[in-house]
Amino acid sequence: MHRPWYQQFWPWFLITLPLCVVVASLYTLHLASTNADTMVVDDYYKKGRAINQDLSELKEAERLGLVAELGFSDGQLTLVMKEGEHNNGEAIYLLLSHPTLAEQDVQALLTSDANGVYRFRPDHELLKGQWNLQLEAFDKRWRMQQRIYLPTADRLLIRAGS
């Protein structure tokens, strides 16, 4: 006597394989729709045109001979302008951008204390790994940038043009 098809192993095995593929596809679709790619830029043409302005600001920092010293300890960043034609007490924009996670980026306007030291404590703990550091004058006439690794026990020298 034959058992009905739904009581046998092989039909259920053959149904289960495509069903697993459908479930995995739906999960992949969910991941793709909820996690946007932050590295894709909508206005790429404007970004490309802005590169020339960025280069002039970088060249100005190199012409001024700017050198900054960056320290990181106890969750606080300290910055000292060591060399170059820098106006003491001038405010500086700091941008720490993570290469892949835009929600981790940190941006601040820094002012110096009486000793010429700029201090900043981020709202959240910075992830371990590589970061893009950008320092820019308040009036946007010069810019320095460098890829750094955080956290670091050593003080980092940021040289314009390197």
In degrees and rounded to multiples of 5, residue 112 shows phi and psi of: -90, 155
pLDDT of residue 26: 96
Tokens of 10: 């092989």
pLDDT tens string, the chain, 162 residues long: the values are 688 988 999 999 999 999 999 999 999 999 888 876 666 666 666 666 665 566 778 888 888 888 888 888 887 888 888 887 777 778 889 898 888 888 888 898 988 888 888 888 888 888 888 888 898 988 888 888 888 887 777 788 888 776
pLDDT of residue 142: 87
Q: Per-residue DSSP letters for 6-31? A: GGSHHHHHHHHHHHHHHHHHHHHHHH
Helix (H, G, I), strand (E, B) or coil at 48: helix
pLDDT of residue 40: 61
Give the CATH fold of the 65-159 domain. Immunoglobulin-like (2.60.40)
In degrees and rounded to multiples of 5, residue 73 shows phi and psi of: -150, 145
pLDDT of residue 137: 87
- Report the C-alpha gap between 159 and 162 in whole angstroms: 6
Domain ranges of the chain: 65-159
pTM for the predicted model, two decimal places: 0.64
